[in-house]
Amino acid sequence: MSDVYGMAKFNRDRFEGLWQALNERLNQIRSRDGLTGVIEALKFEQLERGFIQDDLSGVIKYRMIKEKDPEHYFIVQYNPRRAQRFSGAGRVMPPPGSVAKNGGCFLCRDNVRWQQRGIECGYDVYLESVSGQRHYVIWMNPFPLMLNHVTVGTYDHRPQAWLLSDTENGGVITRIDEIIHDFLSLLSQVRGYVGFYNGDGAGATIPHHFHFQFFKRVEGQDGFPLERAARLGEYGLGADGPWLVPDYPITAIHFRGTRPVVEAQLLRIVRQWEEMFSDPRVVTANLIGTLDGTDPEIYHLYFIPRDKTFNRGPGMSGVIAGVELLGEIVYATEEEKRSLDRGQVNYDFVERVIASVEAPRARELWNRLSDKSGPG
């Protein structure tokens, strides 16, 4: 009988050796080209090793223009390979000698080794904060939505939600300050990328393991519909913001400025959102961010308050997450493609899809902030 445990140890040791060698090489690239250089190199490495299973060549994009108003439009992305993401890209059951941890979570490093037979590797990132160093891993997405689509997950298995039950004292505890700090720390290192945090119940497809997502902008692209709507005019709380994005189907609050400014403003408003609910278990949100295209010291953040009971749009197989709230709806099934071919999807339809996940008290949040009836 073969020594299955000896073989499992051999595979673990081999994986650790490959991981260490890759990270040493990527550290050299990072010292020269920063974290964006690391992501680019990791993408090519994972393509060559056969982990990334989609090069986006099969993606079709449709622009849905508002009738008689070409300044306003949404995008529909038909991405058939995304339909395979829920079945994973590797083994479901561990081989003899290995154990599935945390229910076989796809973002736990120990599971990744046996799930992907050692071909998927990531890059270790350490973020400094006043509460200590936090360890993240950058993983390439095997079924990407956009160019250089990465998931940046915590090394340790911890939930996606920012409000957690306080088992010792009862009630809940918030870690939104930690989330905002780490999101901005990563964003500062990936100029030319868009990042987002999908809260539990706000589009996160792996709600049990904390993660952010980032992707590279297409050069020459004139921003996403949410960003364009913000540029066309906003309702502000003052000269320094934040601002409400008008003429958009969901409540989106825009912050722009230096890191200390946006961090303080965002933290205050998120805590206001927390305090509006007697049951914190329904509270969630999406956070979208990018660095300014001309001044890397300026951050653009969008906070979309959400309610966990409203997370799916009509006529969609997937949930409404950060990309959809940017104004790019993702379709993946054949039935969704047929609805596009039949002309059943237009600007008004997409607008209704996005509006369908508006949190019932989202506009009340803005009204409280502005201390008036609000602009809409």
Determine if the pTM surpasses 0.95.
no
Number of domains in the chain: 1
Q: Using one digit for the tens of pLDDT, what is the confidence trace for 7-33?
A: 678 778 899 999 999 999 999 999 999
Phi, psi of 58 (to 5 degrees): -90, 5
**Cβ neighbours of residue 270 closer than 8 Å, sequence gap 6 or more:** 176, 180, 285, 303
DSSP letters, 198-236, are E-TTTT-S-TTS-EEEEEEPPTT----HHHHHHHT--EE
What confidence category does residue 374 fall into, taking pLDDT thresholds of 50, 70 and 90? Answer: very low
Residue 154 within any structural domain of the chain:
yes
Residue 353 within any structural domain of the chain:
yes
Residue 272 within any structural domain of the chain:
yes
Q: Using one digit for the tens of pLDDT, what is the confidence trace for 63-98?
A: 999 998 888 899 999 998 776 654 545 677 888 888
Q: What is the CATH number of the domain that holds 319?
A: 3.30.428.70
Q: Using one digit for the tens of pLDDT, what is the confidence trace for 296-347?
A: 999 999 999 999 887 776 766 667 899 999 999 999 888 889 999 999 999 9
Residue 375 within any structural domain of the chain:
no
Q: Is the dihedral of CA 29, 51, 92, 309 positive or negative?
A: positive
Residue 376 within any structural domain of the chain:
no
Q: Using one digit for the tens of pLDDT, what is the confidence trace for 179-197?
A: 999 999 999 999 999 999 9
Residue 169 within any structural domain of the chain:
yes
Residue 332's domain spans which residues? 4-370
Predicted local confidence at residue 373, as pLDDT: 39
Q: What whole-number percentage of the chain has pLDDT above 70?
A: 93
Residue 172 within any structural domain of the chain:
yes
- Per the DSSP assignment, residues forming a β-bridge with 215 are 194
**Peptide bond between residue 305 and the one before it cis (omega within 30 degrees of 0):** no
Q: Using one digit for the tens of pLDDT, what is the confidence trace for 148-165?
A: 999 999 999 999 999 888
Per-residue pLDDT for 376 more than 80? no
CB 210 within 8 A of CB 159: yes
Average pLDDT, the chain: 89
3-class SS of residue 110: helix
Residue 165 within any structural domain of the chain:
yes
